[in-house]
Amino acid sequence: MSYPNSEDNDLAAKEAHAIAQKDQILRQVLSPEARLRLNNVKMVKPELANAVENYLINLAAQGQASGQISDEQLKQILTSAQQPKRDFKINRI
């Protein structure tokens, strides 16, 4: 029978602490509506949401986040963070 390694427990505890810190910072930086929107985006496009979360955390760490970010401001950030879509046009001959 194998018992969980204490190093695994330490790693899991550190990850849980990092996630809790990240959530706390996002609560301070984002308005409730913006947090809801970011959570919705996270369900559909987790990579985009993680990139935006890291961007917002960096803004907060540098002290550049003036007050809470509103839903409209978050929409602009999400739009600028997305990769441009390619438009295909098929011409039939």
Per the structure, the count of domains in the chain is 1
Q: Is residue 58 one of the residues assigned to a domain?
A: yes
Segments of the chain scoring below 70 in pLDDT: 1-6
State the pLDDT at residue 88: 81
Q: Is residue 76 one of the residues assigned to a domain?
A: no
Largest CA distance in the chain: 70
Q: Which domain holds residue 27?
A: 20-62
Q: Is residue 2 one of the residues assigned to a domain?
A: no
Q: Is residue 88 one of the residues assigned to a domain?
A: no
Q: Is residue 15 one of the residues assigned to a domain?
A: no
Question: What residue type is assigned to position 56 of the chain?
Answer: L
3-state secondary structure of 1: coil
Q: Is residue 10 one of the residues assigned to a domain?
A: no
Q: Is residue 47 one of the residues assigned to a domain?
A: yes
Tens-digit pLDDT profile for residues 74-92: 999 999 888 777 778 888 8
Helix (H) or strand (E) holding 8: helix 6-29
State the pLDDT at residue 48: 92
State the pLDDT at residue 5: 65
